[in-house]
Amino acid sequence: LSSGMLLYGASLVYGFAGTTSFDKVAALFAGGAHVSPGLVIGLVFVMAGLAFKISAAPFHMWTPDVYEGAPTPVTAFFAAAPKVAAIALLTRVVMEPFGHLAAQWHQVLVATAILSMVIGSFVAIMQTNIKRLMAYSSIGHVGYALVGLTTGTQDGVRGVLIYMALYIAMNIGAFAVILSMKAKGRMLEEIKDFSGLSKTNPMLAATMAIFMFSMAGIPPMAGFFGKLYVFLAAIAAQEYTLAVVGVLTSVVGAFYYLRIIKIMYFDEPAVVVDKVDDDGMTGVLVLTSLFTLLFFVAPAPILNGAAAAAAALFAG
């Protein structure tokens, strides 16, 4: 369905613009060419197709079932790599060829960002499966990233890039913990299975706590800085509604992240979790947790890289 919408939108754009080249489309509208309704409809279809791929509301309905039903390593993969690639593609599509048509796509992104943040935060509260919870969490995080993109500014794009770079580390780390949750070789995927994890496997519990604090946006974890730069860009662009909704939904989201920490540290153990005996998995857990925990010590490489990338996008 998403590919069909994407293709149909691209065909409409080609039909009304006469080209599919990013540079030529950008030059066409930079010169003040008339914007036909057909082209705007095509652009909306393209954005809807990409919204499916990044799990942005209201095109998110496939995500929880696929996250829960797919093997956990597969879920971990498409929760990170394709999502980040699709966000990068959406950023290029709206900023390069259609950068001069911000008035046409702005309201679409505003609605999508708000819906994603609200649905991702509130619906996650009711989940009992950790993979479904991570699905709604990813919907919420996409909403925060779209806040930066909605501004249409260089600072906003920089915020999106910073957010997604930090999101990759948090997400891969959290799924590494989920993959490590086994009892007698059997995968554990229910939230109740985390009960008392600090008593049976304290290192795994501490690692998961780091990722949950970070996803909740609690300083000095990396996730706090991701939200900080996105919200600062929104405020600078006078997108106050988005910033306020983002902060409020972050508070709601913190509930279910902190609930997992409470379950791990204050509830009695439900099962005895196996020790992590995979060196590769241990390495992933250590690297991602240290990056998430200590990002504030040396943030310059990520911040400067994102700034350079955003500047290059606007230089064109």
pLDDT given for residue 281 in this prediction: 87
* pLDDT of the chain, 316 residues: tens digit per residue: 889 999 999 999 999 988 889 888 888 888 777 788 999 999 999 999 999 999 998 888 889 999 888 888 888 888 888 889 999 999 999 998 888 888 888 999 999 999 999 999 999 999 999 999 999 999 999 999 999 999 989 999 999 999 999 999 999 999 999 998 888 878 888 899 999 999 988 999 999 999 999 999 999 999 999 999 999 999 999 999 999 999 999 999 999 999 999 999 998 888 888 888 888 889 999 999 999 999 999 999 999 999 999 998 887 5
* Domain ranges (residues) in the chain: 1-53, 62-315
pLDDT given for residue 79 in this prediction: 84
Contact 230, 147 (CB under 8 A): yes
pLDDT given for residue 46 in this prediction: 93
Q: Is the pTM of this model over 0.75?
A: yes
pLDDT given for residue 28 in this prediction: 86
